[in-house]
Amino acid sequence: MPNKTQKISKAVLSLLIFTALIVGAVSAFASTEAAAAPAVANSNVAWWVWPLVLFVVTFVLGILAVLGGVGGGVLFVPIVGGFFPFNIDFVRGAGLLVALAGALAAGPGLLKRNLASLRLSLPVALIASSAAIVGAMIGLALKPNVVNILLGATILLIVIIMGTAKKSDFPIVPKPDNLSQSLGIMGIYREESIGKDVEWTVHKTPQGLMLFVVIGVMAGMFGLGAGWANVPVLNLLMGAPLKISVATSKFLLSITDTSAAWVYLNQGAVLPMIVVPSIVGIMLGSMVGVKILAKAKPKAIKWMVIGLLLFAGLRALLKGLEIWK
Amino acid sequence: MANERTKASEEQIVYANILNKGMWFGLALLIITFIIYISGALPSYVPIEDLSKTPPGSTVPYWSMRAHDFNQALNIPTGWGWTALAGKGDYLNFVGIAMLAGLTILCYLVILPILIRKKDTPYVIIAIAEIAVLALAASGILKTGGH
């Protein structure tokens, strides 16, 4: 129904503009005050304004993430890192916990419906979570401007992947590889859209596992959920059906992000004042997003999300290069 | 609906059940402790209103500092040192955060006996290795070089 789709698109666009105005107004006010203030001073923006704005922004991001088919963390880190006064260390720590909470919430349902596969997840998670620890340690050791440059470049890469990557509902796996056979990575799930039970298996497992080393490092380094990379590897490279790939990717984040989150927690890079409003905001937003998604799936919103990521990626890159401070 | 062929494995169901209960418990804990924090019902180690303040000798507010500098400026312990401050409003929040972050380890520990009973040796090894990796991350032994 085009009218409903148009209405939803307009509503989402209005939400985006509203949020941008709030963040822009508070940022501008805060920076004016800071510039005019002496070296030892307090910001004139009341402390509670930022968590409140954070809650509103993450609520909108939660809606957009569901409609745009991305994880909350990938929107959270560049946007909050680029437009809020918090250090990127705390933003990445919060980003990991936001992605973790989302994965923990979605995991049980996906596992019970046999869409997320434990047999596929466990070997991949071992590789990705080990790499995420290394990524987290590298990320916390790097200078903030280097992190911002790399983050900006990564977000722009994600934009390219989102804009160009194809998906395959039922990839053809001519022959499972030896590793997947010996680990018994296979399954059957009910595909309601065609009313059939679909048997699946995977191939190119060693290559996939190698790529999960890179994905894990990036997830830990930038505090991003890594669904944007997990899904193409599981679906296009290893040949898992799209539904299995998306569900397993979501569940996988609960393990990958756990290891990196512990590193941030132990290094004191977690501020509850940022974490809790963000988790609650994004989870409530996701719930609203799921309800909207059930009524319509406007393609335009995916492009809005890509546009938003492009903007946030450029912001991170230019901030890191000290062109747009 | 799932039939016998499409039904999830025993360990998958058990994992899902623990995850479900733990997630809701952790989330509830997080929200309750955050309300205690912002209401000021318990005094905080670092008062929430101070986070936006710029300390003497610094050009940025506390929350704009790197984590390493923030910890040094406010004498905040790293690793599991926060447990000693769990009676404070701000560090009480870490109980819920640690609960959510520790949930996966618990899930692995619960499915391990099932994998052993099934004599699923490769997955027993994988599960033990994952528990070791997550325990290492959670231990606080790993330190970054700062900057």
How much is the average pLDDT of A253-279? 94
Q: Span A156-164, mean pLDDT?
A: 89
Q: Quick check: A137 and B26 CB within 8 A?
A: no
Residue B83 in contact with partner chain A when CB distance is under 8 A: no
**H or E stretch at A263:** helix A242-266
Judged against a pLDDT cut of 70, whether residue A13 lies above it is answered with: no
What is the rounded distance in angstroms from the CA atom of residue B57 to the CA atom of residue A258? 36
Query: Which pLDDT score is estimated for A292?
Result: 79
pLDDT bin (cut points 50, 70, 90) of residue A36 is very low
Average pLDDT, chain A: 86
Give the contacts of A206 (CB within 8 A, at least 6 positions apart).
A177, A179
Interface of A with B in 143-182 (CB under 8 A): 143-144, 182
| CB-CB neighbors (< 8 A) of A117 in chain B | 12
Q: CA-CA distance, A138 to A121, in Å (whole number)?
A: 25
ipTM of predicted assembly, 2 dp: 0.94
pLDDT-derived band at B2, boundaries 50, 70, 90 = low
Which has the higher per-residue pLDDT, A32 or A247? A247
**Two structure tokens written together for A104:** 């923990």
Tokens standing for A241? Answer: 């059906």
Q: List Cβ<8 Å contacts ≥24 apart for A298-302.
A: A298/A5, A298/A6, A298/A8, A298/A9, A298/A12, A298/A67, A300/A5, A300/A9, A301/A8, A301/A9, A301/A12, A301/A64, A301/A67, A301/A68, A302/A67, A302/A68, A302/A69, A302/A162
Write down how long chain B is: 147
Which of the residues A44, A88, A113, A122 would you substitute to probe the B interface, choosing the one with the greatest number of B C-beta atoms within 10 Å? A122
Higher pLDDT, A325 or A122: A122
Q: What is the dihedral of CA B25, B30, B35, B40, to 10 degrees?
A: 130
Residues of chain A with Cβ-Cβ distance to B37 below 8 Å are 272-273
Which among A117, A143, A267 has the least Cβ separation from residue B67?
A267
pLDDT number for residue A29: 53
Residue A16 has pLDDT above 80, yes or no: no
Chain A 245-274, CB below 8 Å of chain B: which residues?
Answer: 254-255, 258-274
The alpha carbon of residue A1 and the mean position of all alpha carbons in its chain are separated, in whole angstroms, by 29
Instruction: State the average pLDDT over residues B71-87.
Output: 93
Q: With a cut of 80, say whether residue B23 has pLDDT above it.
A: yes
What is the model's pTM? 0.89
CB–CB contact B100 A90 (8 Å):
no
Give the nearest partner residue to B134 out of A101, A129, A188, using CB atoms: A129
> What is the reported pLDDT for A166?
80
Task: Answer with the residue of higher pLDDT: A31 or A19.
Answer: A19
